[in-house]
Amino acid sequence: MHPTTHQRNKGVVTRAFVHGASSCEVVELEAKPVQSFPMTQLDPEGIFEGFIPKRPGVFRYQLRAGYPNGEFRQFFDPYCFLPTLGAQDLYLFNEGNEHKIYEKLGSHRRDLGGVLGVSFAVWAPSAARVSVVGNFNRWDGRTHPMRSLGASGVWELFIPGLGEGELYKFEIRDPRGLIHLKTDPYGTYFEGPPNNAAIVCDTRKFKWTDDAWLQRRREQAAHHDRPMSVYEVHLGSWRRKPEDANRPLTYRELAVQLGDYAVEMGFTHIEVLPIAEHPFDGSWGYQVTGFYAPTHRHGAPDDFAWFVDHLHSRGIGVILDWVPAHFPRDSFALAEFDGTHLYEHADPRQGAHMDWGTLIFNYGRNEVRCFLVANALAWFDRYHLDGLRVDAVASMLYLDYSRKEGQWIPNQYGGRENLEAITFIRQVNDLVHQYHPGGRMIAEESTSFAGVSKPTRDGGLGFDYKWNMGWMNDTLRYFAKEPIVRRHHHNDLTFGMLYQYAENFVTVFSHDEVVHGKGSMLFKMGAWHIAEKAANLRALYGHMWAWPGKKLLFMGSEFAQSREWAHDTSLDWHLCQYTDHEGVRLLVRDLNRLYLTEPVLSENDFNAQGFRWLTCHDADANLIAYVRGDAGDKTLLAAVCHFGGATRDYRLGVPRRGFWREVINTNSEYYGGTGLGNDGGRTTEDIERDGFSQSMVVTLPPLTTTLFKWTADGGSAAARSAN
């Protein structure tokens, strides 16, 4: 249908395109009695025209179409409804400050004057014509051309009678006359490849039950030093359904099973690899074509909402990987959306990503920035997420990222920093904190860019946390060596403390460490035998949980999966029947429990006063030892990390007299070790060591981290007196 009305001689000229109709008439609804005005068929395709005398330019009417088979249909004309976007909406969008533009653009069920239907709106400023197409109009772009809303570049149309479940796309004629069939950038639900059509979906109908959770989150917004132990998960391969053709689990199945597992293991949060819609499974979700839509692979948007709501009911927060750094070149999505470089830079020196073959957003364009900022806010708003981990931040910050000389364009001051991307990052971080207090923004940033996790008011980027990629790389390089040569690489263990408190760090072993031929965490360990590799990995995890910083571990690594992660099959859960694997899992569980019950392991993560070296120089012993403490040293927890291959009895200076109880021994038989340890703890002696007036002799099994907690009451009278 494409009716128009024109005043002429105190009447109205009407025109309509009704595909396949043999007759058409205008029915005036408010006339008494109801009157109809036949139209003349001008073309057999279904073009009609008529004249209605003595009528105003605006009146309430419907069209009544007859078809060759004798059928008649009466319906509202889409073009008799006023636009669903106002001047203020369009002004703020073009300015880049309509923070809820996702409620205006895209598709939305609406009730306009008692008429139910769906409004469609899309930004395509260079298009010569834009039409909504779908099953409802045989995918014919002539049927529902959209109205241009002037200089805003937005096209809009309300189609009465449509509802949830309708498939649609936008047919765009570019300035050269070429036709592009595009999915909705603001679509909330998509069908799968190869068609990838958007589906009309109401994301507001889910009934949430997590008010208490959100209230607690708001109350704790200012407290960054809370326990955060994150289990990173790829939903399609965490666990599958072998009895049902090995299919991935649904959002609802995952919610229950992941919730049970996370609670058992003591994780506080689950971080999900990107679930925004993507056509290629092998991208793991990092090449997004539907930024506002949870992927169809595990269910509908309501099912994802149920996933988050259920995990909140179990006390588990949900963090989502978010990808504003780039997007793929798929012809049905954002690339050259209206026939021009709309979302991306036209110059490949700015708009082409060299590593991934993707396109880079034009962060300097207001409407693009508005699209991305609103996207971050929409995930918090619609799905109650607790945080976004922002992917590939370094590639956004630097204009010369992964480029050679001559392949990039300096900024206006001649520098390499992407000033427009930095402005965008600061804006999105501030707005998330403004609209969703307690929501966390986490940067995967691999360089030494200053102030990533500092507030924007202090000149920082405004993230809450930053992944500690330096610690990860140094530590894994050390553990890849065999114990006999580790003394030559001792600096890899200690260097990280020089910058540890420069940012609010998350200590991570993520999915990036177990793909692309890098091997599993277990097989990264420098040892020949599985038992020795498992001992190394247990010692590493003991050190990781004791070291300052929030924690993140990728799925499968908690039970020492042997093979590298594969996105298209389940983790090897059967390995948990073997001690070398189940022992690692039990250790991670117990480390999380200790982490949650001992505030010194989380409350001073970003306070240098909460960390003290006991020894960091004994490279020949392959040993580091340090203390985590609170104000006044009321609670002290010592980590003694021995990464050598022989047993040692070692005198260690400590800051307090008394009994140091052994709370974790990664060599415990329970975890698959030999059981050699310190018989429950050690009492200090008044023998000076390493600048302390008391010390204790500890037994150091090979490849073992031992955690001790100080208590004044465990030994002699001397032990009960504080230093």
| Percent of the chain predicted with pLDDT > 90 | 90
Tell me the pLDDT tens digit for each residue of 622-648: 999 999 999 888 899 999 999 999 999
Specify if 422 maps to a domain.
yes
Tell me the pLDDT tens digit for each residue of 213-239: 999 999 999 888 899 999 999 999 999
Quick one: angle between helices 579-597 and 251-265, nearest 10?
A: 80
> What is the C-alpha to C-alpha distance for residues 335 and 329, in angstroms, rounded to an integer?
5
Q: What is the DSSP string of 227-265?
A: --EEEEE-TTTS-EEGGGTTEEPPHHHHHHHHHHHHHHH
Please give the pLDDT value at position 56.
64
Residues 6+ apart with CB under 8 A from 587: 538, 541, 542, 664, 666, 671
Q: Please compute the mean of the pLDDT values over residues 79-84 and round it to a whole number.
A: 92
> What is the C-alpha to C-alpha distance for residues 702 and 622, in angstroms, rounded to an integer?
10
368 and 438 fall within a common domain: yes
543 and 495 fall within a common domain: yes
Instruction: Report angle CA 474, 478, 479 to the nearest 5 degrees.
Output: 120
Number of domains making up the chain: 4
Specify if 220 maps to a domain.
no
91 and 76 fall within a common domain: no
460 and 550 fall within a common domain: yes
Nearest Cα neighbor of 383 from 272, 297, 281 is 272
255 and 396 fall within a common domain: yes
Please check whether residue 21 is in contact with residue 67, taking contact to mean a CB–CB distance below 8 angstroms: yes
Please give the pLDDT value at position 131.
98
Tell me the pLDDT tens digit for each residue of 366-411: 999 999 999 999 999 999 999 999 999 999 999 999 999 999 999 9
Residues 6+ apart with CB under 8 A from 482: 526, 527
> Is the pLDDT reported for residue 6 higher than 60?
no
CATH (domain of 659): 2.60.40.1180
Please give the pLDDT value at position 715.
46
174 and 255 fall within a common domain: no
Q: Please compute the mean of the pLDDT values over residues 169-176 and round it to a whole number.
A: 96
Pick the range with the lowest mean pLDDT from 205-214, 305-314, 627-636.
627-636
Residues 6+ apart with CB under 8 A from 114: none
> Is the pLDDT reported for residue 421 higher than 60?
yes
The H or E element containing residue 62 is strand 61-66
Specify if 575 maps to a domain.
yes
Q: Please compute the mean of the pLDDT values over residues 313-318 and round it to a whole number.
A: 98
345 and 407 fall within a common domain: yes
> What tokens does 121 get?
């709106």
Please give the pLDDT value at position 582.
98
Q: Please compute the mean of the pLDDT values over residues 506-524 and round it to a whole number.
A: 96
Please give the pLDDT value at position 363.
97
Residue 548 CA: distances (Å) to CA of 252, 449, 643, 647: 35, 20, 19, 27
410 and 555 fall within a common domain: yes
Instruction: Report angle CA 643, 667, 268 to the nearest 5 degrees.
Output: 95
Residue-range definition of the domain harbouring residue 24: 4-80
Pick the range with the lowest mean pLDDT from 56-60, 440-444, 592-596.
56-60
Nearest Cα neighbor of 45 from 71, 62, 24 is 24
Please give the pLDDT value at position 4.
55
CATH (domain of 190): 2.60.40.10
Please give the pLDDT value at position 5.
53
**Of the listed 98, 444, 445, 580, which one is catalytic?**
444
Please report which confidence band the pLDDT of residue 34 belongs to, taking 50, 70 and 90 as the band edges.
confident
Please give the pLDDT value at position 35.
87
557 and 637 fall within a common domain: no
Specify if 214 maps to a domain.
no
Domain boundary among 599, 628, 650: 599
Specify if 204 maps to a domain.
no
Please give the pLDDT value at position 713.
66
> Is the pLDDT reported for residue 2 higher than 80?
no
Quick one: angle between helices 419-435 and 366-383, nearest 10?
A: 30
Please give the pLDDT value at position 631.
82
Tell me the pLDDT tens digit for each residue of 112-151: 999 999 999 999 999 999 999 999 999 999 999 999 999 9
Q: Please compute the mean of the pLDDT values over residues 599-624 and round it to a whole number.
A: 94
CB-neighbour burial class of residue 354 (10 A; exposed 0-12, middle 13-18, buried 19+)? middle
> What is the C-alpha to C-alpha distance for residues 411 and 197, in angstroms, rounded to an integer?
38
Please report which confidence band the pLDDT of residue 718 belongs to, taking 50, 70 and 90 as the band edges.
very low
> What is the C-alpha to C-alpha distance for residues 24 and 236, in angstroms, rounded to an integer?
51
Q: Please compute the mean of the pLDDT values over residues 240-247 and round it to a whole number.
A: 93
> What tokens does 456 get?
């924007």
Domain boundary among 599, 617, 651: 599
Average pLDDT, the chain: 94
Please give the pLDDT value at position 652.
97
582 and 513 fall within a common domain: yes
CATH (domain of 585): 3.20.20.80
Domain boundary among 65, 80, 95: 80
> What tokens does 593 get?
């429990």
Please give the pLDDT value at position 33.
86
> What is the C-alpha to C-alpha distance for residues 501 and 608, in angstroms, rounded to an integer?
6
**Of the listed 391, 445, 503, 605, which one is catalytic?**
391
Specify if 264 maps to a domain.
yes
> What is the C-alpha to C-alpha distance for residues 187 and 177, in angstroms, rounded to an integer?
25
> What is the C-alpha to C-alpha distance for residues 352 and 197, in angstroms, rounded to an integer?
26
Specify if 526 maps to a domain.
yes
| Percent of the chain predicted with pLDDT > 70 | 97
Please report which confidence band the pLDDT of residue 719 belongs to, taking 50, 70 and 90 as the band edges.
very low
Specify if 334 maps to a domain.
yes
Q: In the annotation, is 391 catalytic?
A: yes
φ, ψ for residue 311, nearest 5 deg? -65, -40
281 and 240 fall within a common domain: yes
> What is the C-alpha to C-alpha distance for residues 469 and 472, in angstroms, rounded to an integer?
5
268 and 162 fall within a common domain: no
